[in-house]
């Protein structure tokens, strides 16, 4: 249903999509790079500045001599007269002369660095696994780009929520809410991107039927009641989203073996013999048979459409 809707959108928006989709993709990628590179660069600059001895201080104009003075204690560095600061301001300046205690700085650098590295690693892992990095069509590219923008937005907001810098509790709360909105948008956009990915198709076997006789790979077999079976080995890994289908045989009144070559045969035999052991490791190995009727003469194709196996009449009647 969703896939059909998206196909319609793809068709009707065709030309404008071919402009908007790469644009959204590039903007998304650029935002991600910025969200990761900007804090990393800021830390690098701060560390280098601290290494050469550049420090931040409070500065004010002395009420007596009217010259700018660095505020270290309560008196002017030029004329040594009192600056007239309230005691609690002087206390704050004594505790954190640059607005941040010095001992906190290396901790902030380390934690920020770790957070940015974790965000970068998570980004790369998710981009590769979800296929967002390698979109197949323009519509998928558009959603992938928007998803990257949402993810970059989340990273930026999350940085503000946990950041050491300014920002009161209220601002952090607001940023946290927006970060959650971004995660919601990301989930929706990834779903749309996945749904607009064109389904891959592969022809697993080709059977030519004539009356009660079928021909597969040049071998003829008799049929019973126009019924054909397609036997295959299915290997799944649910967690990794991995699936392989290995055609084994076409079955009528007799079998036609589809496994060609000794290597393939060895692999299939090995998988099937050790199916129980593989299942224990989360890899399910199953032998299945798909039954179908071939009442009309012609060529039938057994097709893997995404994760579904189906049978269809060959569109163009080409023999050979
Ligand atoms: Zn002065």
pLDDT in tens, 7-57: 777 777 777 778 888 899 999 999 999 999 999 999 999 899 988 988 888
From the number of C-beta atoms within 10 Å of its C-beta (0-12, 13-18, 19+), residue 142 rates as: buried
Q: How far is the CA of 79 from the centre of ligand 1 (A)?
A: 4
**Strand (E) positions, the chain?**
59-61, 68-70, 201-210, 213-216, 219-222, 227-237, 242-251, 255-257, 283-293, 298-305, 308-313
Q: How far is the CA of 27 from the centre of ligand 1 (A)?
A: 52
Q: How far is the CA of 68 from the centre of ligand 1 (A)?
A: 8
pTM more than 0.75 = no
Residue matched to tokens 């073996």? 257
Residues 261-314: tens digit of each pLDDT: 778 888 888 888 888 888 878 888 888 888 888 888 888 888 887 778 888 887
Mean pLDDT (the chain, rounded): 84
Residues 94-115: tens digit of each pLDDT: 776 666 777 888 888 898 899 9
The pLDDT value given to residue 266: 84
Q: How far is the CA of 141 from the centre of ligand 1 (A)?
A: 63
Residues 139-175: tens digit of each pLDDT: 888 888 999 999 999 999 998 888 766 667 888 889 9
Ligand 1 (single-atom ion) residues, CB below 5 Å: 62, 64-65, 76, 78-79
Rounded CA separation 202/313 (Å): 14
């Amino acid at each position: 249903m969703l896939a059909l809707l998206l196909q319609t959108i793809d068709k009707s928006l065709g030309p404008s999509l071919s402009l908007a989709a790469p644009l959204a993709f590039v903007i998304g990628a650029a935002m991600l790079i910025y969200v990761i590179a900007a804090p990393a660069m800021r830390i690098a600059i701060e560390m280098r500045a601290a290494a050469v001895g550049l420090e931040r201080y409070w500065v004010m104009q002395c009420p007596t001599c009217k010259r700018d003075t660095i505020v270290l204690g309560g008196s002017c560095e030029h004329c040594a007269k009192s600056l007239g600061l309230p005691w609690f301001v002087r206390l704050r300046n004594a505790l954190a002369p640059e607005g941040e205690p010095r001992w906190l700085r290396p901790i902030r650098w380390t934690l920020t660095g770790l957070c940015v590295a974790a965000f970068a690693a998570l980004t790369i892992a998710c981009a590769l696994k979800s296929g967002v990095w390698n979109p197949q069509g323009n519509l998928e590219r558009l959603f992938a780009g928007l998803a990257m923008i949402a993810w970059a937005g989340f990273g930026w907001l999350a940085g503000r929520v946990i950041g050491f810098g300014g920002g009161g509790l209220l601002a952090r709360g607001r940023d946290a809410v927006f970060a959650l909105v971004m995660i919601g948008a990301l989930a929706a956009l990834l779903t749309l991107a996945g749904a607009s990915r064109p389904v891959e198709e592969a022809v697993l076997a080709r059977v030519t039927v004539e009356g009660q006789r079928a021909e597969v790979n040049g071998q003829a077999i008799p049929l019973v009641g126009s019924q054909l079976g397609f036997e295959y080995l299915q290997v799944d890994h649910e967690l990794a989203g991995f699936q392989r289908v290995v055609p084994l045989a076409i079955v009528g009144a007799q079998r036609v073996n589809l496994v060609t070559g000794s290597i393939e045969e060895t692999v299939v035999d090995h998988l099937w013999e050790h199916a129980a052991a593989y299942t224990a490791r989360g890899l399910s190995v199953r032998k299945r048979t798909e039954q179908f009727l071939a009442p009309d003469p012609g060529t039938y194709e057994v097709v893997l459409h995404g994760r579904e196996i189906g049978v269809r009449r060959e569109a163009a009647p080409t023999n050979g």
